[in-house]
Amino acid sequence: MEKKSVGLGLALGGGAARGMAHLGVLRVLEREGINVDYLAGTSMGAVVAAVYAVGTDPNYIARLAEKLRWETLVDIRFNKMGLISGDKIERVIQVLTKNRNFEELQMPLAIIAADLGSGEPVIFRSGPIYSAVRASIAIPGVFEPIKCGDRMLVDGGIINNVPVKPVRDLGADVVIAVDVSHDQGSSEPRNFVEVLFKAFEVMGAYINKAQLESADLVIAPNTDKIGPAGFYRAAECIAAGEQAAEEALPRIRELLAKKAEEMGCQKTERQKPARQEREA
């Protein structure tokens, strides 16, 4: 069947607190009437992608993010598998995603985790959304891994931190990667949790290079001075995402127009139905 419009996909990368910059990118696209048709997310990118995919207004998500504090989301549990059990944040994600399954979504969504045993990516496209997101954010050493059958799942960022290929595989014609992992000039870690985050990001930076090359456009919000645990700086992260998206608008429109011409489509931008300001 011939497509009537260009399918735009976003690949939202991991980056801990910096991932809140994704909200700024989504805000700008909504404001400009540029419809997102496909989403894939890893780690914090998975959180934002999932909450957006269930139909929540990015402005509401942004206001909520600005009120949240890291300490309210963590439950310290010193054991051999991880510092944080993740039970609290799992419950929050379950509420934010309205306890929905992938099959209930109108927007195709992929959430990326990693199989710690095989070293292979695990791409969730079915089942409960919250459990997929919980696996995707399980930073080794910080969060307890998730058992899924005979597999032990951890943060997808160790394999695919900016999931360009997964969102293209969903059917996207144009893929924009949002990379919040770069950290040149960022401050030194202040504690061992930030050391773990930092080491994880450094490793992911090398993995990112090949993945980002396959994107049609890379948006890289300037969050370099925000630490991975800086959730209290949500407003700055969101503003950085907005600025980066606004600067990218001419290129986004150019890409969509070019692809529309190639495909013989008439429209590249269209009006979305009103999103929900509150959780149902």
Tell me the pLDDT band of 193, cut-offs 50, 70 and 90.
Answer: low
pTM here is 0.89
Asked if the model's pLDDT at residue 275 lies above 90, the reply is no
Say which range, 34-38, 119-123, 144-148, 207-211, has the weakest mean pLDDT: 207-211
Residue range 252-267, pLDDT digits in tens: 999 999 999 999 875 5
Q: Which domains does the chain have, with CATH numbers?
A: 8-263 (3.40.1090.10)
What pLDDT was estimated at residue 16?
Answer: 85
Average pLDDT, stretch 71-94? 75
Q: Which residues of 82-92 are buried (b: 16+ CB within 10 A; e: fewer)?
A: bbbbbeebbee
Convert 141-164 to b/e letters by CB count within 10 Å (16 or more is b): bbbbbbebeebbbbbbbbbbbbbb
Q: Catalytic residue numbers?
A: 43, 155
Are 183 and 230 in contact by the 8 Å Cβ rule? The answer is no
Cβ atoms within 10 Å, residue 79:
8
279, pLDDT greater than 50: no
Q: How confident is the model at residue 63 (pLDDT cuts 50, 70, 90)?
A: confident
Q: 211 pLDDT exceeds 50?
A: yes
